[in-house]
Structure 1
């Protein structure tokens, strides 16, 4: 992979026939992972799609991940790599920054994600988790996507918006749902359309966040919003209100939707694999947790961490990333011109048998056995949360929250997946089962830490 002196001498990536004008957009919106998997089998690890009116080179595999996320970053622009309607829905956020502006924005957001900050969030997280678990126990069932979504949104609202009231709590999930649906919609603005509804929802969410920011400036707090509102770097630079509002909106979305997807598939996988569930319960007993869970105990949950890594590998919450090519390059013998869009596939490397033995099998112990498959994020085999300098800033926060909630469920509760439901994935934009994953839920007999 090198910059070409005579790029026109190499062919463009191969492509399959597609629709006039719309190209491959509708097929991508309907089932992007399925489309990419099919074309990859037909055309190889580099091929061409027409997405949102843009010629798009799709790059698959570990080598592609490393190039896009690390070694070849000079060839790409982040902001204009996303489809235009994504930029309309994000507006001003770290997701759209490159180079020094990105590094500065990341630096200004880091106080909310340091170990000391996350440890300070645990009591509020646990309080919300236990209240939600009590509701699920009383109901005797739960719809994982909906119920996990409510509690993780509540936590994100409290920590990133500093909102300890119920004001707006009923509207926030609906606004967030409408906003996120806009990313995987046909971006046509007409009254009552999905995309127009998404833009309106974003305006409502931003207004909600701005009110919270002004409140935090009047009364300092130690939640995430309070930390970020008062933070300046060594040069005295701070986030503006507009920047902070946009970042909080993205962080709230990331703080509950990605975590919700992960928790849902953890529940599914543990229900489907009793041997894994038994080992996860045993780890909780071995830790000897009494009462509240500490951050030190969470960091020692190595088997649960392996379960979550395997969920990330098999059920990546977000399947693709996009870039705009600003400097042409060669990849696997094909030329990728400046001005094109590049899509890299999260699952391309994660389900590759060259990286993971028997890749479609759920096997958390591939991340624990000495000398076998390992996490290897630095090798760009596992990139569900990104990689390189653009690793998701909230990865640790999301995993801590998921482990905290699962610790209580593993020690004290049982669940089974209800029959006759549609578990095929959809992307809105994160991966979810179409049925939402309905489960029967009840308290375990005996002490919370008793064997199954």
Structure 2
């Protein structure tokens, strides 16, 4: 009879010990996680992150937490995911240098669903193969053959959409040009009506990817899902048509990104999945469209604000190139290589108004960074907002100064509009050519001034002027 009280005592002590151990272990584990807070249940700090552009800039979201928690690393929760935000040049270097070792590319599931329809298509092995094909397609030695096409389309664009008017909105026109160019180079689509077939649902996709991801009829996200489906169906029809052309006569088929992917195969000689190709091309359209248009708009904004910079771009480079051309000559690779100062201006514009805030990664193996544990399955985020305007890397950071990019330029991992490492933006050279070709054509034909001198900048997928940057045109006298 005396055994029972002793047994109960042992059980109570054992349970108490286990509870103390579990609590201690839980606290110990939590103490290893990065400082910060996750916000509300499920939604975390997604709303604060999404509305940062309305309150000022997304930079505020990052800087407030860097100031409050840590200059190098903090945790939050976005899109229902635990997130570690890596800050500064060291954070950029760590993520860029550890692709496939600790982290891999990741998009929020709400965006994956719009672009790829299913997570399975996003994670399909063919997607990895497709990225290597895109990198190959966008190599400088391959893209140089597209420079005359970019130039001829820019000239036609200015003649049609700029010259007849005294005032234009630069953002909408740059969006129109970059989308038409993408349709031409990605899919060989030149008919304006066919371009519209893609651009109308594409605009729904763009609007929905920056909205609250609630999938009920009437919401922007629901319209984005429908728009993504329409584009994939159009792409699948185009794929079938292109496959027939390839089967009939390969020699006459246009050399574009679509054909480049259709001619490829996986390691077993199998053709790549059509739905995955369609989803990836839609993804490339999104990635290349707003960012490049935003960069072009920012460049022209700063050229309007700093006449001495405009004059240097025009007189020191672009007019010299223009005078070297015959009436029907188009830009070529040698001309682009002469635009060094113009590219410095573009880089400084992207430093101050970055086309994209950063990018996500998924942790595939737990790692330790700055003494904190980042668990497997967490997501990470590198951001331009921890370096681009950081006085530690760029003295007097709010000043527009293209000379920052002369010589060796900024320190490594501080200027990262295109990311870095193996996952550096595949279209960075494509974007560079678009920006420089557009700059050349606009500055050699016009001078302009801002119609709204104090126009505010807003932030959606990219940084954009609140009213689309309306400008008053002043054509050069011939």
Alignment of 1:28-67 (within 5 A): 28-31=49-52, 32-45=58-71, 46-67=73-94
Equivalent in the alignment of 2:445: 412
Residue 444 (structure 1) aligns with = 476
Please state if 1:248 is matched with 2:281: yes
Give the CA deviation at 1:325.
2.1
Aligned counterpart in structure 2 of residue 324 of structure 1, from 357, 362, 374: 362
- Alignment of 1:230 onto 2:251: no
Note the alpha carbon deviations across 1:287-341, whole angstroms, 9 max, x for none.
3442421121112211111111212222111102112223222222222222322
Q: Report 1:301-320 matches (<5 A).
A: 301-320=339-358
Residues 424 and 434, structure 1, Cα contact 8 Å, conserved in 2: yes
2:311 is matched with: 278
Structure 2: 5+ residue runs without aligned partners? 1-26, 53-57, 246-252
Distance 1:415 1:120 in 2: 31
CA contact (8 A) 2:298 2:350 kept: no
Q: State the structure with more CA Rg.
A: 2
Partner SS for 1:330: strand
Q: Which runs of 4+ in 1 moved over 6 A?
A: 92-95
Change (3 A) 1:307 1:95: farther
Q: Give the Å deviation of 1:7.
A: 8.1
Contact kept, 8 Å, 1:162 with 1:223, in 2: the verdict is yes
Instruction: Note closer, same or farther for the CA distance 1:61–1:191 as it changes in structure 2 (3 Å cut).
Output: same
Residue number in structure 1 paired with 2:145: 120
User: Shift of the alpha carbon at 1:443?
Assistant: 1.4
Classify the secondary structure of the residue corresponding to 1:40: helix
Contact 2:130 2:277 in 1 (8 A): no
Gap runs ≥5 in structure 1: 1-5, 447-452
SS in structure 2 of the partner of residue 441 of structure 1? strand
Given the alignment of the two structures, is residue 374 of structure 1 paired with residue 395 of structure 2, yes or no?
A: no
Instruction: Report the TM-score when normalising by structure 2.
Output: 0.83
Structure-2 separation of matches of 1:17 and 1:388: 29
The aligned residue for residue 450 of structure 1 is none
TM score, norm. by length of structure 1: 0.88
Deviations 1:196-224 (A, max 9, x none): 11110001111222222233333311233
Superposed, 1:4-83 pairs within 5 Å as 8=29, 10-16=31-37, 18-31=39-52, 32-45=58-71, 46-71=73-98, 73-79=100-106, 82-83=107-108
In structure 2, distance between residues paired with 1:346 and 1:74? 22
**CA deviation map 1:35-92 (0-9, x unaligned):** 112211222222221212222221111100111111364222424xx32212212327
Deviates more, 1:235-244 or 1:82-91: 235-244
Kindly indicate whether the alpha-carbon contact (under 8 Å) linking 1:265 and 1:315 is maintained by their aligned counterparts in 2.
yes
Q: Separation in 2 of the partners of 1:111 and 1:11?
A: 41
Distance 2:134 2:82 in 1: 34
Give 2:183's aligned residue: 157
**Which of 237, 259, 279 lines up with 1:211 in the alignment?**
237
> Which stretch of structure 1 is more off in the superposition, 207-216 or 136-145?
207-216
Check whether the contact 2:38–2:82 (CA below 8 A) recurs between aligned residues.
no
Give the one of 288, 291, 294 matched to 1:261.
Answer: 294
Q: CA deviation at 1:418?
A: 0.9
**Structure 1 Cα separation of the partners of residues 353 and 119 of structure 2:** 26
Alpha carbons of structure 1 residues 52 and 17: separation in structure 2 relative to 1, 3 Å = closer
The DSSP-based 3-state class of the residue aligned with 1:142 is strand
Structure 1 320/253 Cα, relative in aligned 2: closer, same or farther at 3 Å? Answer: same
Contact 1:153 1:256 in 2 (8 A): yes
SS of structure 2 residue aligned to 1:63: helix
Higher mean C-alpha displacement, 164-173 vs 206-215: 164-173
> What is the SS of the residue equivalent to 2:168?
strand
